Amino acid sequence: MIAKIYSAIPQGYSGSLITVEGDTNQGLPCFSIVGMANKTITESRERVRSALVNSDFRFPTKKVTINLAPAELTKDGSHLDLPIAVALLVLSGQLLPTDISGFVFVGELALDGEIKPVRGIINTVEAAKLAGFSTIFIPIDNLPQATLVPDINIIGAKTLQALFLHLKGIRPLPIINHKDYIHRISTPTASVVKNTQADKNANNDSTVSLDSIIGHNFAKRALIIALAGHHNLLISGPPGSGKSLLAQAASRLLSHPSPNEQVEIAKLHSLTSLIIPTSFRRPFRNPHHTASITSIIGGGPHVTPGEISLAHRGVLFLDELPEFPRNIIEALRQPLETHSITISRVNLHATYPANFILLATMNPCPCGHLGNPHHPCTCTPTQITSYHKRISGPILDRFDLSIVMHPIPPTELSNTAPPPTILTENVVKNTITDVTDLGFKRYHSMEKHNGTLSPAEIKKFIQLTPPAQQLLLQASTKFQLSTRSYFKIIKIARTIADLDRAETVDVAHISEALSFRQKPF
Architecture of the domain defined by 198-410: 3-Layer(aba) Sandwich (3.40)
Q: Which fold has domain 2-186?
A: Ribosomal Protein S5; domain 2 (3.30.230)
pLDDT of residue 465: 96
Q: Is 342 a residue whose pLDDT tops 90?
A: yes
How large is the average pLDDT for residues 396-409?
A: 92
What percentage of residues in the chain have a pLDDT greater than 90?
Answer: 68
How large is the average pLDDT for residues 83-100?
A: 95
Residue 334 DSSP SS3: helix
For residue 99, give the DSSP letter: G
pLDDT confidence band for 200 (50 / 70 / 90): very low
Q: Is 405 a residue whose pLDDT tops 60?
A: yes
pLDDT of residue 416: 57
Architecture of the domain defined by 435-515: Orthogonal Bundle (1.10)
- Any residues with CB less than 8 A from the CB of 279 and at least 6 apart, and which? 195, 199, 202, 203
pLDDT digits (tens, 9 = 90+) for 43-63: 888 999 999 999 999 998 889
In whole angstroms, give the CA distance from residue 206 to residue 478.
46
Report the relative pairing of strands 284-285 and 108-109 from DSSP bridges: unpaired
Q: Is 207 a residue whose pLDDT tops 80?
A: no
pLDDT of residue 411: 72
In whole angstroms, give the CA distance from residue 235 to residue 242.
10
pLDDT of residue 412: 72
Pick the most confident of 122-136, 238-252, 374-388.
Answer: 122-136
Q: Is 106 a residue whose pLDDT tops 80?
A: yes
In whole angstroms, give the CA distance from residue 320 to residue 450.
27
Q: Is 116 a residue whose pLDDT tops 90?
A: yes
The domains of the chain are located at: 2-186, 198-410, 435-515
Q: Is 483 a residue whose pLDDT tops 80?
A: yes
Q: Is the dihedral of CA 338, 353, 359, 459 positive or negative?
A: positive
In whole angstroms, give the CA distance from residue 171 to residue 319.
54
pLDDT of residue 179: 62
For residue 172, give the DSSP letter: P
pLDDT digits (tens, 9 = 90+) for 303-340: 899 999 999 999 999 999 999 999 999 999 999 999 99
pLDDT of residue 188: 35
Residues in the chain: 521
pLDDT confidence band for 397 (50 / 70 / 90): very high
Q: Which residue has the higher pLDDT, 203 or 101?
A: 101
In whole angstroms, give the CA distance from residue 146 to residue 125.
7
- Any residues with CB less than 8 A from the CB of 224 and at least 6 apart, and which? 253, 428, 431, 432, 499
Q: Is 184 a residue whose pLDDT tops 50?
A: no
How large is the average pLDDT for residues 352-365?
A: 96
pLDDT digits (tens, 9 = 90+) for 439-465: 999 999 888 899 999 999 999 999 999
Query: Average pLDDT over the chain, rounded to whole?
Result: 88
pLDDT of residue 186: 44
Q: Is 196 a residue whose pLDDT tops 50?
A: no
pLDDT of residue 355: 96
How large is the average pLDDT for residues 263-289?
A: 84
pLDDT of residue 177: 79
Q: Is 280 a residue whose pLDDT tops 80?
A: no
